[in-house]
Amino acid sequence: MKSFLKDAKRSVPKDLWAAYSRFVVSVRDKNGKERWVRNSSKIDEAVESAGYFALRSNVVSDAFEALAIYRQRNMVEQDFNQLKNWLDGDRLRVGAVSVQGKLLVSTIGTALRMMMLCSAKKMENRKDKLTIPGGSLDRLLMELTLVRAEKRKNANAWIRNTIPASRRRCFELLQLPEPPRKFIL
């Protein structure tokens, strides 16, 4: 770089060269001529930590510990924002009582899902042939929604369609009996 600038009768100011010289590397091409190319790894390192970040704490003196605590707090805030989105918690649409009701329903639903997932995991570990479809509770529940029953036109009864073996295993994973073939109302 310096020789190139020297040939062009130009120079890089010392303060700029000191600040930015790490981002270029001198290499020789096939003809043995020196040329300068970008040092991508140094540029990537600089971009990753570019900008300034100030974190003040009157409780923790170690900067790295304070940063770890801050990041944990940030994760909690992001999860809380996600919960607000699930509950549709827009300030203009809800009051305190309705938020509490939505939170209760969400908590009960989450608890039921966790119980179902734990049950399925236990059964999966007990029996080799049983696996959770796609490794996901959502996928397992989607399989169960495909079980259908049709109302008889000439009787007050519902008849369940035949359940394939893959869906029967889903019932077994959740430790549920298969629904009866006929429902009479």
Query: Mind listing the pLDDT tens digit for each residue in 116-153?
Result: 999 899 988 888 788 888 888 899 999 999 999 998 88
**Residue pair 179/170 in contact by the 8 Å Cβ criterion:** no
Q: Is the pLDDT of residue 49 over 80?
A: no
pLDDT digits (tens, 9 = 90+) for 60-100: 888 888 888 888 888 888 888 887 777 776 665 667 777 78
DSSP code of 36? Answer: E
Of the listed ranges 42-46, 52-56, 103-107, 135-139, the least confidently predicted one is 52-56
**Residue pair 182/159 in contact by the 8 Å Cβ criterion:** yes
The length of the chain, given as a count of residues = 185
Query: What pLDDT sits at residue 93?
Result: 62
Mean pLDDT rounded to a whole number for the chain: 83
Q: Is the pLDDT of residue 9 over 80?
A: no
Query: What pLDDT sits at residue 2?
Result: 55
DSSP code of 38? Answer: E
Query: What pLDDT sits at residue 114?
Result: 92
What backbone phi and psi angles, to 5 degrees, belong to 69? -65, -40
Query: What pLDDT sits at residue 112?
Result: 93
Segment 19-25 shows an average pLDDT of 85
Q: In sequence order, what DSSP letters do the residues of 89-110 get, joined into one string?
A: --TTT--HHHHHHHHHHHHHHH
Per-residue 3-state assignment (H helix, E strand, C coil) for 105-160: HHHHHHHHHHHHHHHHHHHHHHCCCCCCHHHCHHHHHHHHHCCCEEECCCCCEEEE
Q: Is the pLDDT of residue 1 over 60?
A: no
| 48-52, 82-86, 111-115 — most confident range | 111-115
d(CA 54, CA 76): 20
Q: Which two tokens stand for residue 146?
A: 């495909």
Band of pLDDT at residue 48, cut at 50, 70 and 90: confident
